[in-house]
Chains A and B, each alone.
Chain A
Amino acid sequence: MMSVVRGETHATEYEAVIGFEVHVELATATKLFCSCPTTFGAPPNAHTCPICLGHPGMLPLLNERAVEYALRATLAFGCEIERCVRFDRKQYFYHDLPKAYQISQIHAPIGRNGSLTIDVGGRSKVIRIREIHLEEDAGKSIHLLGDGDNATLIDFNRSGIPLIEIVTEPDISSPEEARAFLEELRLTILYLGISDVRMEEGSLRADANISVRPKGSPVFGAKVEVKNLNSISGVERAVAYEIERQISLLRRGERVVSETRRWDEDLRRTFSMRQKFGGFDYRPIHEPEVVPYVLEESYIERIRAELPELPKERRRKFQETYGLSAYDAGVLTANRELSDLFEAGVREGAPPKPLANWLMSEFLGYVNERGLAVRDVPITPRQWAELLALIENGTISTNIAKAVFQRMAESGRDPREIVEAEGLVQIADPKALREIVDRVLAANPKSVEDYRKGKEKALGFLVGQVMRETRGKAHPELVNQLLREALGEPGGA
């Protein structure tokens, strides 16, 4: 018997089994059961009231907007919908949990059996979502350790903030998939407009459940929960580290302990927090103070109809309808505002491919350099279409267009207006250009000679001189052509 066990634990090939529990803070204006604001970064306990502090005699008042947001998520992830919205109490004592219970959906989560498709290495994979439920957040404890004078400070601003918890099946099997899953989840939620999903502010919190087992084994290995993951790349690193740690334990013939571990981003390793003793008994009872209610079919249909296009569909459309590459479609849709801007520009008549290029290079460069958001740049879709038309019909050169873009971004003025006011219209009249070409040739006999001796580089210099004379407005190809005509073939004469 022993040898069999050893044979298994010393297997050469292992596979990882990973599931996620993701908490998403819903971007409602007020808390789940009271009218306290949910804005981030207020002074401690500024956003509290007798309800979210759990005073006696108070009753929770359900925020229906939070239910609507949760419903959007369940629809977007293709879940079966629990039509009766009801809550349970998850009971435990902790000093930052005011009522000593969290109002949650234990018995009837609003969504079940959904999925999210991810793309990794050119392959699609379906990650099943076990459930999505609504719950309220707890407060935050700050433990101060002094010289024998310890104190715990509690901030209840977060107490009662609405969350949805998204629980997956253990369908993820690599750090790359973990990353892809969280990125796609985050993006989808962002498109749904139900959360700002900022991991660093805690509005998206992911816990990974990780185990490894000999490849092909039907039995799950000991499960380790990794917490404190506050960036997507951190998740990828933590998952990779933990898989490696568990495999090396097994290779050494040791056991993986089922426990909760903390990811330390600075040290890039996980640390044991606490061991699990067979799960905590939350003694859930039905929440008697929040009246259950039924989601009407018409209401569900309305929310379904109002669902925005999700990133996956939009990526497909960008490729199929606008002929963009998968890469371009990915970059544009990674930012919902950017992809909205792209589509609006196309609707205004901008050619898709050039517009995509402009948005990804000049525009994103401008935005990132200045730390702006897409909406902070005052260029309208119509102005984008106009700018691209000016390039297309030869009114301005690409170089000039870059300058015009900068002016547009700063002032919000129309490109045509900028071009006219600053005299930036491209000189594409051969007669006018020929005069300048002649002047430049006369002024640079040395370069003319060099070119004729076969130094192609000299031509570039001459083009540059013409552009300088025209302050960049000369049509570059025409200048090239005129110069060659005037000079004859290199090496000739």
Chain B
Amino acid sequence: MDGFSVLAWRSRLASGEATPEDVARHYLEAIAARDPEIHAFLLVREEAREEARNLRVEDRQTLPFFGIPVALKDNFLTRGVRTTAGSRILETYVPPVDATAWKHLALGGAVLLGKTNLDEFAMGVSTETSAFGPTRNPWDLTRTAGGSSGGSAAAVAAGFTPLALGSDTGGSVRQPAAYTGIVGFKPTYGLISRFGLIHMAASLDTVGVLANTVADAAYTFVHISGSDHKDPTSFGKLPPAFANQLAEIQRLAYPARVERLHALLSRGFSGVKVALVREFLGDGVSPDVRIAIEAAARRMEELGAHVEVVSIPELKLASAVYAVVMTAEAASYLGRFDGVRFGLRVPAGDVDTLSTWTRSQGFGWEVKRRILFGTYVTLSESFVDLYERALRARRFLAIRLEALFADYDLLLGPTTPTTAPALGAAGDLDPVVELTQDLLTIPANLAGLPAVSVPAGRGSDGMPVGLQIVGPRYSDLDVLAFAFSWEEARPLEARPPFGGKIMELSSREGGNE
């Protein structure tokens, strides 16, 4: 798998062993061969080959993303390239600007391979609410790849791209990463500009990175993070030490950046205090997952980490708080899709009917459900009881977690309660499992904390299990360093097999090895 990591490609591209065009061709061929059954992409850009060819050879040593292919979840705006958010209402929308996160990569020399599938407006956990059909899990085509960044996760796991961006509002990067056996990183809220990301719930949304390795995720995170004058929520006052560290790495070009980052990540487990959260391993978590996570914790302890089981009963608030805040903000955000200025317009005799018809035909069921829920919680009758109370509970939970980080460096648990479920099962999920899913990933969003999902082993069904590591705000590099150490330490069998097949394909056809 490492052979197909961003950093491995980067070194081959720098030495001239591979050309950007080779790399683009390699991935476009893989997509053409296998994406029809997986459906990770909503749009594949054949132009990527030409754009790769047009990169200037003299930049190959220095540009940090020279020739690296990237897939973007289709809720990132791409200027001149259709962006749908997985919805009929934006089926023909061609945005006038680029999302800042993508712009950083493009300026660094990255090549856009295509736009990936997602749950409509990122609302869902299996990419099945996409108006354009579901994405399948590359490990097992009868299973979901997760959601809402299911397309991005499947694309990386299937070897269609070494790198993808997703968005994480309640776990939408980490959960599909866990289901597809890759790395999914969600940074501290506001560290990566959300300008050009079609929101779901502005106070929870983050831009996340999906990659094969922790080092790739860290390398990408460092490159695309930082304040952006177009996104005032990215203006957070960073702790000076962290800000300096970020700025210092950002100043470095390839390959100095890789070296510096490796030095930062290779800290090992020694002396790290970890809280294994009891509520993360409770009812609803399958035995397979529990065994994998406990085994991982034991291994970390053997290697010098200090692991304690800790209970955080307040976590039970998370799902309810999330449901209220997320739907209130989402319903509010979606009001702009009225058929007047952009996107779908269903013609009618008067403007009110035009908006009504456009919205009823343009939005799918899950989106409508959340609009109704979000509208309900903000009605004046329920405002104080639901919306305001949820905001208070959110602050309470954030304060509780912050207090915990006074004693522990990181929190540990599974990313998902089970391995990837069968497609079509989302509606039949055991409600306890469903709530547990929320409970695992949502606290990081409610409190704005950095969190990563890394492969931790396999279930008895052979499907990947994800380990989640959560840290305090602005501990992004510590979270990644810990995940990196785990990646180095974890048993080899935990690595996904699917990429291996692609590697053979590549050796045969690409001739880069």
> Hey, which bits of chain A sit against chain B, CB under 8 A?
50, 53-62, 89, 91, 93, 95, 98-101, 150, 152, 154, 281, 283-286, 288-291
- Which residues of B sit under 8 angstroms from A58, Cβ to Cβ? 195-196
Q: How far is the CA of A53 from the CA of B337 in the complex (A)?
A: 11
Given contacts A56-B77, A59-B194, 6 further A-B contacts (CB under 8 A): A55-B336, A56-B95, A57-B196, A89-B332, A154-B340, A289-B232
- Which residues of A sit under 8 angstroms from B202, Cβ to Cβ? 288-289
Nearest Cβ distance between residue A103 and chain B, in whole angstroms?
11
- Which residues of A sit under 8 angstroms from B337, Cβ to Cβ? 56
B228 nearest in chain A by CB position: A59
Q: Does B156 contact A (CB under 8 A)?
A: no
Q: Which residues 364-389 of B have a CB within 8 angstroms of A?
A: 375, 378-380, 383, 387
The listed residue (A50, A62, A281, A290) touching B380 by CB distance below 8 A is: A281
Q: Does B238 contact A (CB under 8 A)?
A: no
Give the interface SS of chain B, mostly helix, strand, loop or mixed. loop
Cβ contact within 8 Å between B335 and A61: no
Cβ contact within 8 Å between B232 and A283: no
Q: How far is the CA of A98 from the CA of B342 in the complex (A)?
A: 10
Cβ contact within 8 Å between B351 and A152: yes
Give the interface SS of chain A, mostly helix, strand, loop or mixed. loop
- Which residues of A sit under 8 angstroms from B351, Cβ to Cβ? 95, 152
Q: How far is the CA of A452 from the CA of B249 in the complex (A)?
A: 109
Cβ contact within 8 Å between A99 and B198: no
Between A and B, 11 residue pairs with Cβ closer than 8 Å are: A50-B95, A50-B96, A50-B97, A55-B336, A55-B341, A56-B90, A57-B99, A93-B335, A283-B379, A285-B378, A291-B232
Q: Does B355 contact A (CB under 8 A)?
A: yes
- Which residues of A sit under 8 angstroms from B250, Cβ to Cβ? none
Q: Does B85 contact A (CB under 8 A)?
A: yes
Question: Hey, what's the 0/1 contact readout for B74-98 against A, CB within 8 Å counting as 1?
Answer: 0111000000010000100101110
Q: How far is the CA of A57 from the CA of B96 in the complex (A)?
A: 11
Cβ contact within 8 Å between B85 and A100: no
- Which residues of A sit under 8 angstroms from B233, Cβ to Cβ? 59, 288-289, 291
A282 nearest in chain B by CB position: B380
- Which residues of A sit under 8 angstroms from B380, Cβ to Cβ? 281, 283
B350 nearest in chain A by CB position: A150
Q: How far is the CA of A343 from the CA of B202 in the complex (A)?
A: 53
Q: Does B329 contact A (CB under 8 A)?
A: yes
**A-B interface, 5 closest residue pairs, ranked by CB to CB distance from nearest:** A100-B335, A288-B203, A283-B378, A288-B202, A54-B336
Nearest Cβ distance between residue A371 and chain B, in whole angstroms?
40
- Which residues of A sit under 8 angstroms from B99, Cβ to Cβ? 57
- Which residues of A sit under 8 angstroms from B230, Cβ to Cβ? 59, 61
Cβ contact within 8 Å between B90 and A285: no
Nearest Cβ distance between residue A341 and chain B, in whole angstroms?
42
Q: How far is the CA of A152 from the CA of B349 in the complex (A)?
A: 11
Question: Which of A58, A59, A60, A89 has most B Cβ within 10 Å?
Answer: A59
- Which residues of B sit under 8 angstroms from A57, Cβ to Cβ? 75-77, 95, 97, 99, 195-199
Q: Does B391 contact A (CB under 8 A)?
A: yes
Q: How far is the CA of A60 from the CA of B233 in the complex (A)?
A: 10
Cβ contact within 8 Å between A62 and B232: yes
Q: Does B229 contact A (CB under 8 A)?
A: yes
Cβ contact within 8 Å between A285 and B195: no
Q: How far is the CA of A55 from the CA of B333 in the complex (A)?
A: 10
Cβ contact within 8 Å between A59 and B232: yes
Cβ contact within 8 Å between B229 and A56: no
Nearest Cβ distance between residue B360 and chain A, in whole angstroms?
13
Nearest Cβ distance between residue B149 and chain A, in whole angstroms?
16
Q: Which residues 214-239 of B have a CB within 8 angstroms of A?
A: 229-233, 235
Nearest Cβ distance between residue A13 and chain B, in whole angstroms?
38
The listed residue (A91, A95, A290) touching B340 by CB distance below 8 A is: A95
Q: Does B7 contact A (CB under 8 A)?
A: no
Nearest Cβ distance between residue A31 and chain B, in whole angstroms?
15
- Which residues of A sit under 8 angstroms from B95, Cβ to Cβ? 50, 55-57
Cβ contact within 8 Å between A290 and B199: no
Q: Does B447 contact A (CB under 8 A)?
A: no
The listed residue (A100, A154, A288) touching B329 by CB distance below 8 A is: A288
Cβ contact within 8 Å between A56 and B328: no
Nearest Cβ distance between residue A409 and chain B, in whole angstroms?
48
Cβ contact within 8 Å between A286 and B338: no
Q: How far is the CA of A100 from the CA of B371 in the complex (A)?
A: 13
Q: How far is the CA of A416 from the CA of B274 in the complex (A)?
A: 90
Q: Does B276 contact A (CB under 8 A)?
A: no
Cβ contact within 8 Å between A56 and B199: yes
